[in-house]
Structure 1
């Protein structure tokens, strides 16, 4: 699902910083922002005043608060617990994956702002309710009490799914990383705030139990569940990545301990359903789940730990593939029968992002070889033009690089020169708009998709914060102190 934009609006806007930048200040007026947080504004001011590159500072100033400024569609504190509905940007629905990634970089600062803390906790509770409604869905409508409109999804009119969608379902593509993203946000919030109140809440626990049950069902081989499939998806379309083969079943797999994911984080169908980045992500967050609830729900915690170990062991037993140029690398997808798909996609989780998600160290030999492959011309979705090079996705077609892949290149890099060069590419990819986009054409950044894609903006902000903390000498002046 993407929208192409071929022109750029360079209309002059009011600047906020004293030093001029080539990028416009594009945040909404304070009175028009969907949510305001004093601590986030303090961090923005502290960062932008101390950044060496004022163009980079302006991009951070615009991008990092974009989720709070524009996508908080509904926030209700409530008597029992808060609930927050976050749209993805130009699509008026809430994705589990996107909403987690949109707010996660705010979590460390929520200790200093109770309203922000409640907003993030509200995302967790909203996600829990939506998972209970339809655990196989990837995106949802707002709850009726929000009184937000329910526009028809223009892509899903011909969908036939097993089980059928709920009234809350915007789109029912089974993506393992969606459910895992809920676990990630829960753990990140718990770890950073110390708030454990939600761990014994019946709604949160029901969502957790639902996730574990779904994962176990999706470990079954194709013939083990033949004619009794837990999930099927068919769509009338000319695009093969928008539907599943064999009348919605998907490509056959053999049971090997991994969890099927019929769709990727891009919302494209998998070639082989054992999607390795999503399984790696699941292994990490199931381990975190065990850490969170070992003392409050030991039986559930034990189940999560066992599943985490089974998935990790299976990845190392089945997904490391010999490549004639890169020795042993991780496959993107496998089927348990010996087939593998060697590629990477810019959407997260990806092979490139595995250290970021905590699955493997960024100095591990297998990861380094995999990274070399991903960033080479051997990766069929890595595109290189006269100036730009980066990883794209089948979702946007050939030649389109995703800024998120450039951010992830920085977040997994130990090479200062590589980081600085990639920052320059990110600046140029904005095409003068002052924001990040979903993707841009490898020879023309003015030809980009989705001018309002909050996840990309959030990840860019997170990338700058990471550098300010881990490598301040690259982007900050000498007397900078990280908040």
Structure 2
């Protein structure tokens, strides 16, 4: 199978075809090129990237990397949530959640997994050596939020609590244990990561793989960012905000399912993380407060943003705050301009890139997120058209592209970016998916 060719036995269910047709007919205002992109991007994950298994779950590859990232797979299925009440669509989404849950139970510190226990991995001699079902063992706080998000969204979309079984509850308890442990990384955590040899050795965490020093703040530590790049400081602010929101949703979900102890523990940790972000997660910029990208509780703070979600740009999308929140608006202005070292502009586009990709490459994920967090419909439509115009002639989104030449791009097959373009179209069409994220109290 070549990239973007549907598997022979895959078809788009009628419920998803109906959803795509409603979206196409909506008065979005986009041109034919954007419409063609939507049709192809919307179907992409379902037709090319899902792998039902004999164990009754569904493995979702990212695209041109044959591994399943918890974070990516949650984003890839999000555009299908408006049709989740359909038995076929809902059954597949529950299968994806079941696989996410089983991945967490294999190793809650891993970020990406193999479809079988074949020992395939990222190809680097990492220490400690990951198990045979693990593609990569970079600990990323936001990854643990993925099954919580999908579990909450399925409940909201269908009203069903069928997926809140004992296996789901065990995975949630594992998530809570890790997040609690990493609130005091220095004293309580045994996690280390070292990547030996070659250019990728830069992924090794300092201090023998433990990461740079941090103080106890109430936030939860993370070794790596949503980009899979190591953290400069130990507390990524947007990831902690996402964790607070996701745990709040778990509290609601577990309470509805009659799991009172799990609900109480999730709600308590949510409140702690939210309070810590508000107390420690900002910094001074041009005489005002903005959210920092990362902090360490020792006075270190980083002003930047990265295209990968969770990001500072995405905070309203995550349910952390409203789009008109003054602190968010100041942060948004900073990260969508020269104060952010990963903001680039050129003849074809301007937007947020990442240290994960070359300089002057912007990410469609960030452009879509800029649209999804905007209160201005004209800006949303402009960004949708821009994304279609910078597809490099492929009819699909990519990881990143050069701001002067969109035919220079990274990753020809990237399911997450295709899903984000689809979600922006659905947003403009008034068909936004049921939230993966509940609104946090006080947002």
TM-score range, shorter chain: over 0.9
Q: Which residue of 1 aligns with 2:261?
A: 299
In the alignment, structure 1 residue 238 sits paired with structure 2 residue 199 = yes
Alignment partners' CA distance in 2, 1:268 and 1:367: 24
Q: Which residue of 2 aligns with 1:5?
A: none
Q: Per-residue deviation at 1:415?
A: 2.1
User: Secondary structure at 2:409's aligned position in 1?
Assistant: strand
Match for residue 241 of structure 2 among 270, 280, 297 = 280
Q: Which residue of 2 aligns with 1:177?
A: 142
Q: Which residue of 2 aligns with 1:48?
A: 24
In the alignment, structure 1 residue 346 sits paired with structure 2 residue 307 = yes
Q: Which residue of 2 aligns with 1:153?
A: 121
In the alignment, structure 1 residue 116 sits paired with structure 2 residue 89 = yes
Q: Which residue of 1 aligns with 2:226?
A: 265
**CA shift digits 1:62-114 (9 cap, x unpaired):** 001100010012245x6xxx411111100111111111111122122121x21
User: Secondary structure at 1:198's aligned position in 2?
Assistant: coil
Q: Per-residue deviation at 1:379?
A: 0.2
Q: Per-residue deviation at 1:411?
A: 0.3
Q: Per-residue deviation at 1:155?
A: 3.4
Q: Per-residue deviation at 1:340?
A: 0.3
Given that residues 36 and 69 in structure 1 are in contact (C-alpha distance below 8 angstroms), is that contact kept between their aligned partners in structure 2? yes
Q: Per-residue deviation at 1:198?
A: 2.3
Q: Which residue of 2 aligns with 1:319?
A: 281
Given that residues 348 and 390 in structure 2 are in contact (C-alpha distance below 8 angstroms), is that contact kept between their aligned partners in structure 1? no
Q: Which residue of 2 aligns with 1:138?
A: 111
Q: Which residue of 2 aligns with 1:17?
A: none
Equivalences for 1:45-444 in 2 at 5 Å? Answer: 45-50=21-26, 52=29, 53-76=31-54, 82-111=56-85, 113-143=86-116, 150=118, 152-156=120-124, 158-161=125-128, 164-199=129-164, 201-222=165-186, 224-225=187-188, 229-236=189-196, 237-239=198-200, 241-295=202-256, 296-324=258-286, 327-444=288-405
Alignment partners' CA distance in 2, 1:403 and 1:184: 22
Alignment partners' CA distance in 2, 1:361 and 1:209: 29
Query: Which runs of 5 or more residues in structure 1 are unaligned?
Result: 1-25, 145-149, 472-483
Given that residues 371 and 379 in structure 2 are in contact (C-alpha distance below 8 angstroms), is that contact kept between their aligned partners in structure 1? yes
Given that residues 287 and 305 in structure 1 are in contact (C-alpha distance below 8 angstroms), is that contact kept between their aligned partners in structure 2? yes
Q: Per-residue deviation at 1:322?
A: 1.4
Alpha carbons of structure 1 residues 197 and 420: separation in structure 2 relative to 1, 3 Å: closer
User: Secondary structure at 2:184's aligned position in 1?
Assistant: coil
Q: Per-residue deviation at 1:308?
A: 0.5
Range that drifts further, 257-266 or 34-43: 34-43
Count of residues in correspondence between the two structures: 426
Alignment partners' CA distance in 1, 2:278 and 2:107: 31
Given that residues 34 and 71 in structure 1 are in contact (C-alpha distance below 8 angstroms), is that contact kept between their aligned partners in structure 2? no
User: Secondary structure at 1:218's aligned position in 2?
Assistant: helix
Q: Which residue of 2 aligns with 1:38?
A: 14
Alignment partners' CA distance in 2, 1:34 and 1:439: 28
Query: Which runs of 5 or more residues in structure 2 are unaligned?
Result: 433-443
Given that residues 329 and 370 in structure 1 are in contact (C-alpha distance below 8 angstroms), is that contact kept between their aligned partners in structure 2? yes
Alignment partners' CA distance in 2, 1:154 and 1:221: 26
Alignment partners' CA distance in 1, 2:142 and 2:101: 15
Q: Per-residue deviation at 1:154?
A: 4.3
Q: Per-residue deviation at 1:167?
A: 2.1
Q: Per-residue deviation at 1:49?
A: 4.4
Given that residues 119 and 131 in structure 2 are in contact (C-alpha distance below 8 angstroms), is that contact kept between their aligned partners in structure 1? no
Give the root-mean-square deviation of aligned CA atoms: 1.9
Alignment partners' CA distance in 1, 2:231 and 2:201: 10
Given that residues 286 and 304 in structure 1 are in contact (C-alpha distance below 8 angstroms), is that contact kept between their aligned partners in structure 2? yes
Q: Per-residue deviation at 1:44?
A: 1.8
Alignment partners' CA distance in 2, 1:155 and 1:329: 39
**CA shift digits 1:350-369 (9 cap, x unpaired):** 00000001001110000000
Q: Which residue of 1 aligns with 2:438?
A: none
Q: Normalised by the size of structure 2, how large is the TM-score?
A: 0.92
Range that drifts further, 395-404 or 411-420: 411-420
